[in-house]
A and B are shown apart, each in its own frame.
Chain A
Amino acid sequence: MLSIKNLRASVEGKEILKGINLEVKAGEVHAIMGPNGSGKSTLANILAGKAEYEILEGEVTFLGQDLLELSPEVRSRSGIFLSFQYPVEIPGVPMVNFLKASVNEHRKFKGLAPLTAGEFLKLLRAKKEMLHLDTELTNRSVNEGFSGGEKKKNEIFQMAMLEPKLAILDETDSGLDIDALRIVAEGVNALKTPENATILVTHYQRLLDYIVPDFVHVLYKGKIVLSGGKELALELEEKGYDWIKNGNE
């Protein structure tokens, strides 16, 4: 589904990614772990199409297409979803309007007619129930005045509405209390199918107690220095990132 080959990228002249290789197939869950500043969020943002990065080398293909050629909106419509580490507040844009525009753009891309107001509300309700969302997120402006936990729940809610093929969750667990973490993790698990894939970008092992990965990769100084199964996360937790750092120097 996703193939990253020797990806090198810089921001403001500083090389952050120094040759990333990663293959993600349908049905798989990959965790990318690493200390702060290792390039995890950069990788997530590049996949979603953020403009401030310069690609120095390498290629990324998604479902056979050159992903780096596509605009952020076309990547989204093609099935890539980035759950933001810091979801932005947009006062004055009602959640409902935003979600409706988003869902209908995705439908248009697939050649489907836009949802009627009734159909849209039905979908909204169904997804809310599925995720056990009790708080009222949809009648407010996008993320405005939301707590950290609400913002992350809202990201997963959007993911549920859009049903992406590849979900990239950037530090979705950071700043979440255990109840919010459980809701978010249950949501991600509920949305999992054999046809879609998930990349979890995380600093901590904690999230992986709830969402069990098939593969764990350790990113350090812009390179994947270690890959393994889910037990690698536990080993990391036990030994700490110093183990990686020392082993690499």
Chain B
Amino acid sequence: MTESLFSITSEPISVEAVMKKVMRPEAGAVAVFAGTVREWTNGKRTLFLQYEAYVSMAEKMLAQIGAEIAEKWPGTKTAITHRIGRLEIGDIAVVIAVSSPHRAEAYEANRYAIERIKQIVPIWKKEQWEDGSAWIGDQLETKAYPSGKPEVNEP
């Protein structure tokens, strides 16, 4: 597969395809995260989501996150695919795969990647509820980062 490690797509994401991009003989672990479309948020029912991206810049920012991870956790390899367009309940919106020689780095780096996506990658979701719709800005689950970026326990 000659596909990029960091991509935005309007097609359904294959978890296995993203995972395969980072598999290599040096790796003893691959941590794979899938973000999916949730039906219920604080008692409110979502019917479907619409994702929009500034595609060219979003792919650059995903690559930047990959570079940050490579610097913080040497020896890891990262691939991220984010889907845009209309997504139904249960659909996969994002897949992050990180491989590393040992599991600890893969887990930590993967967590770092999703937090950074929610900070710097120009992608937006529009919630379609039973009684209306709205573009979501600051997500309820977003934490405040006093230092301006996620706190990560470096190995």
A and B form one complex: no
